[in-house]
Structure 1
Amino acid sequence: MKNPSPASLYAPFRYWKAAMSDRKPSSLVCFPYSYEGEKVHGLYEGKGFACFEGGNTYKGMFSEGLMHGQGTYTWADGVKYEGTFVKNVQMFSGRYTWNDGSVYEGSIKDGVRHGFGFFRSGIHPISYIGYWCKGKRHGKGTIYYDQEHTSWYSGDWVNDVKEGWGMRCYKSGNIYEGQWEKNVRHGKGRMRWLTVNQEYMGQWVHGIQHGYGIHIWFLKRMPASQYPLRNEYVGDFVNGKRHGHGKFIYASGAVYDGEWVCNKKHGKGKFVFKNGRVYEGEFIDDNMVEYPAFLANAMNMKGLNSICTGNHFGTGKELEKTNSTQLTFCFYCNVKLYLLKKFAVLRHITELRRIYTFYSSLGCDDSFDNTFLMTKLQFWRFLKDCRFHHSNISLAEMDRILRDKTPVEEIHCPHETLLFRTFLSYLIRLAFRIYHEEHKENSPYLSKCFLEMVSRNIIPTACYVQGILFSEEGCTVLVMNSYLDKCWGIYRAFCRPSTRPPFELTMKMRHFLWMLNVITSISLFCVVTSALFAQFI
């Protein structure tokens, strides 16, 4: 996606700034050569009409010889001001009209736009409504670039420049929402390319993706599709390209986690195929070092164009054709696990997929492609609804059991996403942990444990949301989505390492109460300080 050219995007403002220049008090000629109206003690008073040298005129209220009150001042070049005057100065509120049809209506201070106001160009389809400061857009405001209002920006302004947080909707329908600096995307933000069904969430530097981010390629599909995945990259970007460490999840179910250089797999990485096979080693220029026969261009996929540079990504399908004897396998060799997969999981696969889809969509906006990935927070909601924690095992202990290779500090991270196969794997492991004592004498006991969990925990209670979190009221969800990142940061700041392996960061009740005490003290300090300052102002 090419970024809009600043020159083309802001070209109309060259005309705008010239056309809507403010007429400051110094431009008002205050010594009329003719006057019609009332006088008191030789001074203009009440309603009157004055003509000034050069052709400027004023019609309105006078007080003590000065323009004061409601009136209309017309310059010789056609510019007109209608509004309030205070001792010859335009103040409070008024309306400027230019001879080309441009109009400003709103707050005025010392003859310039200051406060809330509306401007509409008479020649170009540009309009702005929002706050001004000393004649410049400053504060919250919305600018429309066309009459249909399909292209607009709404957000923060600083001295006529987009600065701070704002949302930009382009005429194509593409939308950016996030931080701005000097009229370009800069900071944290989300860009949606609706025209090509792509989305990027992460860091921007001078209008280009740079830093940590998530890029998603949406695939149009029916609801409850059999393969609820999309192509997704999570990791580092440099100048708009995947560069550094990152994970690519393919719609086929394959996953690459490793190093990237200029949009290509390069360095150490791990590739997991959709059938469970694993290659872990060196990659050079998108190719596996040990198997150079697999060319990079053989992995390209037309539907996976780059973000804005026209590069391509691999699908992972060709790698799956590798001779099985040449790759490391990651699959179940135990006969009991095979029986479990064949007779237990597949027996309930449709219901489990429906449950996964239900919980993965809780608290989420509508998806472009009817696809949702379950987060750890949604997985916890599922576990609570199905009363897994009633089996003498807490949610924190479940996180430890299901840790795998998750870093210690991220064991309880609510942002972690779970593929459907990971969801099934977690259920199998929890079933064994909870019910293996009851069925260890019966073979195959792993299959019986899983069936026991499905019949006792999942089928009767799944998809019936309990408690406040993700309730139908929706208020909690909106607040949670807005402050989830901040809450996670606060949690990590106040939690302490656990005394039990793997010694992850956890928050006990006393830590939580201490956190509330600190926050309350800070809030009380702010209130007291504000009150003290108010006494001296």
Structure 2
Amino acid sequence: MGNHCSVKEVPCFDAAQQPLPQALAVQAEPSGPSDAFGVAEVPSRSLAVEIIGSRPRSDKGEAPEPFGAIRASMADGPDVSRLPDTYFDCEIGECPVLEDESIIQHLRYEFQSGAVYDGDWLNGFRHGMGKQMWPDGTEYVGQWHEGRASGVGCIKHSDGDCYTGQWVNGRAHGLGVYRFQDGAASYEGQFRCDHRDGLGVERWVDGSCYAGGFLQGKKSGFGSNTWPDGTVYYGSWRENSPFGPGEYTLSGGPSFRGQWENSMPHGVGVYQWPDGKTYAGGYHFDKKEGFGILTEADGSVRQGYWANGELVE
């Protein structure tokens, strides 16, 4: 992995160690549906985006100000002027000597950094179509505007990770696809300033799949996560965790439909077992709390106020 890059996705944890949801144990008085996860957090298999600063700019010139398109498209987002440099800023300010820089010319040029660019030049900038290879093995092929990737292009990192899609001012911005080198995971959808942001689909080699909203690289908004065994959670997310209204269902097993917080039932909800037994009422971080009604499979009912998962007699 290079020591500086533009868009770079890294797993939050080793995919091989990622836990899958465990079957819920049907007990006489189960504590709640968090047993379905087996861990405190929903196994989300999320991807994170790491933005790493580039090498210092060439002393032969400064990078131009971000052009109008990026300022307009990011007007309601982060302050572009405060974002770190991109991979493409390394060679800004250095260019070959051309007799007439006002017309597009195709030329192969090696920068002082060791990077090699083969493509179009205009007014001292890489501008048009071109291919660049950096000393660490990273390669970008696609469209350029004033020295940075802009338009459509593909970057392949030295470890094999690649991003193909839309670029604005050297950042993945728009629609694109990111794939891991070992095929462990992929993401297809919207990007914003090198982050997954908007609607997208995240797939893992074991068959797990998340489809829904993202915000600055994390699952946020409405989305559905499906595991290989048929287990499904669909509902509201915040920072990679179920948060708000949602439903978790184990294939052939129990389910919970209601409010969530930090990947745990929290608020009002309904827990249902395969044999027909149900609990409808309040939860406080995965334990029955407040008023609730427990209906047994034989139709008998216990209702009242619960505390720490137990009915207060």
Give the alignment's TM-score, normalised by structure 1.
0.43
Identity %: 25
1:206 aligns with 2:206: no
Q: Tell me how far apart the structure 1 counterparts of residues 187 and 101 of structure 2 sit (CA, whole Å).
A: 44
Q: Tell me how far apart the structure 1 counterparts of residues 199 and 171 of structure 2 sit (CA, whole Å).
A: 18
1:114 aligns with 2:173: yes
Counterparts of residues 13-412 of structure 1 (less than 5 Å): 13=48, 17=50, 23-32=86-95, 41=100, 45-123=104-182, 125-144=184-203, 146-148=204-206, 150-194=207-251, 197-219=253-275, 230-267=276-313
User: Aligned AA for 2:243?
Assistant: H
Q: Tell me how far apart the structure 1 counterparts of residues 283 and 225 of structure 2 sit (CA, whole Å).
A: 22
**What secondary structure does 2:50 align onto?**
helix
Q: Contact 2:202–2:211 (CA<8 Å) still a contact in 1?
A: yes
**What secondary structure does 1:99 align onto?**
coil
Q: Tell me how far apart the structure 1 counterparts of residues 110 and 217 of structure 2 sit (CA, whole Å).
A: 35
Give the C-alpha shift of residue 44 in structure 1. Answer: 7.2
Give the C-alpha shift of residue 28 in structure 1. Answer: 2.8
Q: Tell me how far apart the structure 1 counterparts of residues 222 and 122 of structure 2 sit (CA, whole Å).
A: 45
Q: Report Cα offsets for 1:501-531 as digits up to 9, x if no partner.
A: xxxxxxxxxxxxxxxxxxxxxxxxxxxxxxx
Q: Contact 1:131–1:137 (CA<8 Å) still a contact in 2?
A: yes
Kindly name which structure, 1 or 2, has the bigger radius of gyration based on alpha carbons.
1
User: Aligned AA for 1:168?
Assistant: N
Q: Tell me how far apart the structure 2 counterparts of residues 258 and 7 of structure 1 sit (CA, whole Å).
A: 30
Q: Contact 1:29–1:52 (CA<8 Å) still a contact in 2?
A: no
Which structure is higher in helix share? 1
User: Aligned AA for 2:236?
Assistant: Q
Q: Contact 2:233–2:248 (CA<8 Å) still a contact in 1?
A: yes
Give the C-alpha shift of residue 151 in structure 1. Answer: 1.3
Give the C-alpha shift of residue 261 in structure 1. Answer: 2.9
Q: Tell me how far apart the structure 2 counterparts of residues 158 and 88 of structure 1 sit (CA, whole Å).
A: 28
Q: Contact 1:68–1:87 (CA<8 Å) still a contact in 2?
A: yes
User: Aligned AA for 2:312?
Assistant: H
Give the C-alpha shift of residue 9 in structure 1. Answer: 5.5
Give the C-alpha shift of residue 199 in structure 1. Answer: 0.7
Q: Tell me how far apart the structure 1 counterparts of residues 173 and 53 of structure 2 sit (CA, whole Å).
A: 14
Number of aligned positions between the proteins: 248
Counterparts of residues 405-424 of structure 1 (less than 5 Å): none
Q: Tell me how far apart the structure 2 counterparts of residues 115 and 42 of structure 1 sit (CA, whole Å).
A: 30
Q: Report Cα offsets for 1:133-165 as digits up to 9, x if no partner.
A: 111111111212x224x2122211111122211
Q: Tell me how far apart the structure 1 counterparts of residues 147 and 53 of structure 2 sit (CA, whole Å).
A: 21
Q: Tell me how far apart the structure 1 counterparts of residues 191 and 90 of structure 2 sit (CA, whole Å).
A: 21
Q: Report Cα offsets for 1:297-343 as digits up to 9, x if no partner.
A: xxxxxxxxxxxxxxxxxxxxxxxxxxxxxxxxxxxxxxxxxxxxxxx
State the partner residue of 2:28: none
CA gap of 1:3–1:154, structure 2 versus 1, over 3 A, is farther
Q: Which has the higher contact order (CA 8 A, sep 6+)?
A: 2
User: Aligned AA for 1:234?
Assistant: A
Q: Report Cα offsets for 1:83-137 as digits up to 9, x if no partner.
A: 1111212112111111111110111011011111110011461211111111111
Which residues of structure 2 form unaligned runs of 5+? 1-34, 55-84
Give the C-alpha shift of residue 8 in structure 1. Answer: 7.8
Q: Tell me how far apart the structure 1 counterparts of residues 53 and 226 of structure 2 sit (CA, whole Å).
A: 25
Q: Tell me how far apart the structure 2 counterparts of residues 29 and 158 of structure 1 sit (CA, whole Å).
A: 30
Q: Tell me how far apart the structure 2 counterparts of residues 190 and 119 of structure 1 sit (CA, whole Å).
A: 29
Which residues of structure 1 form unaligned runs of 5+? 220-229, 268-537
CA gap of 1:79–1:5, structure 2 versus 1, over 3 A, is farther
